[in-house]
Amino acid sequence: MHVFHELLQARKNKGAGYLVLIDPDKQSLDRAVEIAQKCQENHVDALLVGGSLLFAHMFDELIKAIKAVCHIPVLIFPGGTRQISPYADAILFLSVISSRNANLLIGEQVVAAPIIKSMNLEAISTGYMFIESGSVTSAQFLSGSLPIPREKPDMAMAHALAAEYLGMKCVYLEAGSGAKLPVPVEMIATLARYTEIPMIIGGGICSPEAARERVEAGAAFIVTGNVLEKNPDSGLIREFADAVHWRQKSD
Ligand code: 1GP
| Contact residues for 205 (Cβ-Cβ < 8 A; gap 6+) | 182, 211, 214, 222, 223, 224, 227
Q: Which pTM does this prediction carry?
A: 0.96
178 Cα: distance to centroid of ligand 1 (angstroms): 6
Residue 250 pLDDT exceeds 60: no
pLDDT digits (tens, 9 = 90+) for 21-79: 999 888 899 999 999 999 999 999 999 999 876 666 789 999 999 999 999 999 999 98
* The total number of residues written for the chain in this structure: 251
pLDDT tens digits, 127-182: 999 999 998 888 788 888 899 999 999 999 999 999 999 999 999 999 999 999 99
What is the predicted pLDDT for the residue at 52? 72
Q: What's the sign of the alpha-carbon dihedral 168, 95, 138, 151?
A: negative
Q: How far is the CA of 200 from the centre of ligand 1 (A)?
A: 11
CA separation for the pair 88, 99 (Å, rounded): 27
Q: Please state the CATH superfamily assignment of the domain spanning residues 3-250 in this structure.
A: FMN-linked oxidoreductases (3.20.20.390)
Interval 98-142: pLDDT, tens:
999 999 999 999 999 999 999 999 999 999 999 999 988 887 888
Q: Give how far Cα 178 sits from Cα of 157, 161, 201, 246, 248, Å.
A: 24, 27, 13, 25, 28
Pocket perturbation via mutation, ligand 1, pick of 224, 227, 228, 237 by most ligand atoms within 8 A of CB: 224
Taking each helix axis from N to C end, the angle separating 208-217 and 234-244, rounded to the nearest 10 degrees, works out to 20
Residues lining ligand 1, CB < 6 A? Answer: 21, 174, 177-179, 202-205, 223-227
* Element holding 78 (H helix, E strand): none
